[in-house]
Chains A and B, each alone.
Chain A
Amino acid sequence: MNLLEVKNLDIDYVTKEGNLKVVRDVSFTLKQGESVGLVGESGCGKTTLAKTIMRLLPDNGVISGGEINYKGENIVTKNKEEIRKLRLNEIAMISQSAMNSLNPVYTVGEQIIEGIRSHTNMSKKEAIKRAEEVFAIIGLEKKRLKSYPHQMSGGMKQRAIIAMALSLNPSLIIADEPTTALDVVVQDKILSQITEIQKQTKSSMIFITHDISIISELCETIIVMYGGKIMEKSSSKVFFKAPYHPYSLGLQNAFPSILDIDKGDLISIPGAPPNLMGELKGCRFKERCPFRTDKCMEELPELKEIGEDHQIACHYPERVDEFREESKKKETWQMVSDRIINESKGDA
């Protein structure tokens, strides 16, 4: 059975100017022990999606359609108390710059123990013991439980937050850019610890980042989001060898590599993500896509199967060889850049 099943999920932010369609028709499943990486630019809806699974949307965030089935039960229809029981026990989140979310006037230990006790019936003693255990797993000395946040380095604080998230052995861990504020050496160590723990406890993980190289090392599956929709979903192994979607091809061009393969000049994708306000027509990537046609301007491509566990949302999967060839050329993207400038001149 699937641990998590997201079905046709729509999420809106209600604003004075109208509804912002942050996530549209997103579906994916997650098996026990599987880890999936979610990538995309800022504003593509990846963090909103994660927050929704925890039911942590801000007040103006509305789930306007779809289901999120966790162990067969729909999270969307649960009330506050039922959700509270799920959090930390079943689903835990390590959020971005979480290390700044520690309360400065309590010791780290007090905060972890408070979390454990408010979600279980453990006595204080048991909770302390549990906190010491998770600290040991994540590589912190147990005397650190008595430290205040300001006495710890960034790496230690982030570890404490991870310890807190793991304290009740959740089945699902949602990690939202858990290491972006950290140095490479610390990042590398924490990431390897997270995967180690995830393997040991057989929990599933949703890993959100904009650094695709991390996903290549950590996750079996990658989901590329753009403008609130899934553009490509594939196993990491296949994706990093041969991406399909024009957006994925663009992303691949934009990444510097430390390895000595001279990819030539990096090319980024010209333009900016679409405004998700108002009526949205056609493919979300149409403004920045070098291969768009009239059909793309009018018709939204559905996510369709093109191989085993490999789906893309593009009208032209059969033209992939041509896309791959063309997307390597600078001129292809320069054309997009010129097109965007011309279009913005027309607006003025």
Chain B
Amino acid sequence: MSNEYLIKVENLKKYYSINKGLKDVFSKEKSYVKAIDDISFTINKGEILGLAGESGSGKTTTGEILVQLQELTDGSVTFDGYDFADKSKEANRRFRQDVQMIFQDPYETLNPRFTIFETIAEPLKIFGMKDKDEIYEKVIEALEIAELRPAEQFAFRYPHELSGGQRQRVAIARGIVIAPKFIVADEPVSMLDVSIRADILNLLRNLRDKMGLTMLYVSHDLSTIKYLCDRIAVMYLGKIVEIGDVKEVINNPQHPYTKVLLSSVPIADPDYIRERIEIDDELPDQINLPVGCRFEPRCPFATDKCKSVDHALFERRDKQWSACIYTDKELILKK
């Protein structure tokens, strides 16, 4: 059976225990920060999924679990037929080769004492490549793909000689040099100047188009998600509140939280009058989460019914799922 998707996440949970003191050892009641609370989604081969949300929504944790930087608490993740529960050496090795991560801060993720060549060659050496000429060739090829030209010159520079955008390209070159199938990019452009962000976004898109890479793009910036991604999942306090085709979600948001997020983005057009949705900008306590819908305390459309609903996703439009119990029409009427 051939499956369309590369990654399937089912009922994923990540809880952090906050019982630390001696007193807590003897108490039966355990409290947790529920960073991710029962989320499911799939990413198809060659697709870029954008994960949006505020700080504390669990989007970065989701990304880190998908590259196994963190252990999951409950649920299952399958990657290319490989189950995360499989801890065999062979499976692990294959996984590490197939999945790579690109981090937010290109100033801190490169070793300042390594030349660019050494940085990019390291993963090759770890995966057993010994032939020096072959390593050199691969590194130059990766630099070319990351558009660091002339590659032969960049290879022997140190990170401090490069600009932020160039460093991020090095990080990308390091990520793709062992030909992974899947990349998690966590806010890869948020540290960069807006004028060079476009280049990095175009590069990521080219990687997908030319190398068939699948990607999870984690960001709080909806306009970059709209530019780069095929689908978007919006997270709020550990839950997915809306998921669907990126253009559809951004043009026709169904969940009140998505509407709020979109109404908060400034528009570079002085004549455009933005309709602001006023809400409380503080997140609720993450340990004692709101009962019922998690967005209810801040939601401008909330009713009493919202305090007792269980989280569920409803298909409101074609392949667009929202966790709000009300349809878009009902929400508009309530205004």
Q: Chain A residues in contact with chain B, CB under 8 A?
A: 41-42, 153-156, 183-189, 191-192, 210-214, 216-217, 236-237, 240-241, 250-251, 253-260, 265-270, 272, 341, 344-345, 348
Contacts and interface: CB of A to CB of B under 8 A. Distances in A.
20 contacts: A41-B193, A41-B195, A154-B55, A183-B55, A184-B261, A185-B279, A211-B266, A216-B267, A217-B266, A217-B274, A236-B270, A253-B198, A255-B223, A256-B197, A256-B226, A258-B265, A265-B202, A268-B196, A268-B197, A344-B150
Nearest to B262: A258
Contacts of A216: 266-270
Interface in B247-276: 247, 250-251, 260-272, 274, 276
Contacts of B269: 216, 240, 259
A184 B227 CA distance: 17
Contacts of B22: none
B251 A155 contact: no
Contacts of A266: 197-198, 201-202, 227
A188 B276 contact: yes
Contacts of B163: 272
A328 to B, nearest CB: 14
B270 A237 contact: yes
Interface string B183-201: 0000000000111111101
Contacts of A183: 54-55, 220, 281
A214 B223 CA distance: 14
Interface of B: 54-55, 149-150, 153, 163-166, 193-199, 201-202, 220-224, 226-227, 247, 250-251, 260-272, 274, 276, 279, 281-283
Nearest to A39: B194
A35 B141 CA distance: 49
B250 to A, nearest CB: 7
Given A237-B270, A256-B223, A266-B202, A348 B153 contact: yes
A258 B222 contact: yes
Contacts of A253: 198
Most chain B C-beta atoms within 10 Å of own C-beta, residue among A183, A186, A216, A267: A183
Chain A CB within 10 Å, residue with most, of B199, B221, B270: B270
A42 B164 contact: yes
A251 B194 CA distance: 8
B61 to A, nearest CB: 16
A210 B270 CA distance: 17
Given A41-B193, A217-B274, A257 B281 contact: no
B267 A254 contact: no
Given A257-B267, A345-B150, A186 B197 contact: no
A153 B195 CA distance: 30
Nearest to A183: B54
A213 B261 contact: no
B150 A185 contact: no
Contacts of A255: 194, 198, 223, 268
Contacts of A213: 265-268
Contact of B194 (A153, A186, A241, A254): A254
Contacts of A267: 198
Contacts of A250: 195
B54 A185 contact: yes
A241 B221 CA distance: 24
B281 A189 contact: yes
Nearest to B223: A256
Given A153-B282, A184-B220, A212-B268, A344 B198 contact: no
